């Protein structure tokens, strides 16, 4: 889904999923920026990179949708933890 060249031209749904994944990745990286300790940031960035890369060739709609949902949940968890740390 995220390889540089799509094989045939992507369906509208594939295109949408691609956008969602990239936006999610960006949001996660932005949240990680807020983490106070450099070592923790490094760890989380490496974790996020590994997670997204590992799944980047997925093509099945159900699997992709589930991963996006899980990713969003993890993002919310991270944001919640950050908010607590700052309160």
Partner 1 sequence: SRWLPVLPVLPRCRLHLLQVPRAAGPSCRRFSDLPPLTLPDIKERVLYVLKLYDKIDPDKASLTAESHFMKDLGLDSLDQVEIIMAMEDEFGFEIPDGDAEKLMCPQEIVDYIADKKDVYE
Q: Is 68 in the site for partner 1 (CB under 8 A)?
A: no
Alpha-helical regions (H) of the chain: 12-33, 38-54, 61-86
Q: Which of 11, 23, 59, 76: binder of partner 1 (CB under 8 A)?
A: 23
Handedness of CA 23, 44, 75, 70 (dihedral sign): positive
Shortest separation between residue 65's beta carbon and partner 1, angstroms: 18
Shortest separation between residue 70's beta carbon and partner 1, angstroms: 17
Q: Which is nearer to partner 1, 56 or 65 (CB)?
A: 56
Q: Which of 7, 8, 9, 36: binder of partner 1 (CB under 8 A)?
A: 36
């Amino acid at each position: 889904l995220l390889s540089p060249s799509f094989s045939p031209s992507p369906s509208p749904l594939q295109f949408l999923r691609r956008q969602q994944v990239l936006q999610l990745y960006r949001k996660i990286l932005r949240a990680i920026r807020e983490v106070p300790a450099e070592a923790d940031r490094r760890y989380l960035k490496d974790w996020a990179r590994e997670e997204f890369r590992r799944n980047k060739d997925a093509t099945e709609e159900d699997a992709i949708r589930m991963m996006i949902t899980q990713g969003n949940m993890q993002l919310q968890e991270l944001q919640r933890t950050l908010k607590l740390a700052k309160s």
